[in-house]
Amino acid sequence: SQQGEEDPQALSIQEGENATMNCSYKTSINNLQWYRQNSGRGLVHLILIRSNEREKHSGRLRVTLDTSKKSSSLLITASRAADTASYFCATSPAGKLIFGQGTELSVKP
């Protein structure tokens, strides 16, 4: 079953601009994670935010969590061409890591 919905499905920006991706989920969570996937490759864990946290930073990444709205956002600042990838949020209902539909980000040099 699908736990997370993400929008936009695709996002195209210029290098140096910021990229914002949103994720909504259905059930209550203990934490939410974000992963990146370069084309046809494995996923790489980016950041985990716990349900009692509202915001978390890691380098150029900023993640927010609003449990009242069951939503999270991932902001990538000062984007680079190397940030081109698909980004997935993931939650753990019943201990299984389930991924949202993903946002395909394209950063043009």
Partner 1 sequence: DTEVTQTPKHLVMGMTNKKSLKCEQHMGHRAMYWYKQKAKKPPELMFVYSYEKLSINESVPSRFSPECPNSSLLNLHLHALQPEDSALYLCASSQGVQGSGANVLTFGAGSRLTVL
Q: Is 38 helix (H, G, I), strand (E, B) or coil?
A: coil
Tell me how far CA of residue 108 lies from CA of 81, 90, 95, 100, in angstroms.
6, 26, 38, 25
SS3 at position 106: strand
Q: Verify binding: residue 41, partner 1, rule CB under 8 A.
A: yes
Smallest distance, Å, CB 17 to partner 1? 24
Residue 43 contacts partner 1 per CB under 8 A: yes
Q: What are phi and psi of 66, to 5 degrees?
A: -125, 95
Cβ–Cβ < 8 Å for 13, 83 = no
Tell whether residue 91 is a contact of partner 1 (CB under 8 A): no
Interaction of residue 99 with partner 1, rule CB under 8 A: yes
Contacting residue, 33, 73, 79, 84, with partner 1 by CB under 8 A: 33
Q: Which residues bind partner 1 (CB under 8 A)?
A: 30-31, 33, 35, 40-45, 48, 50, 88, 92, 94-102, 104
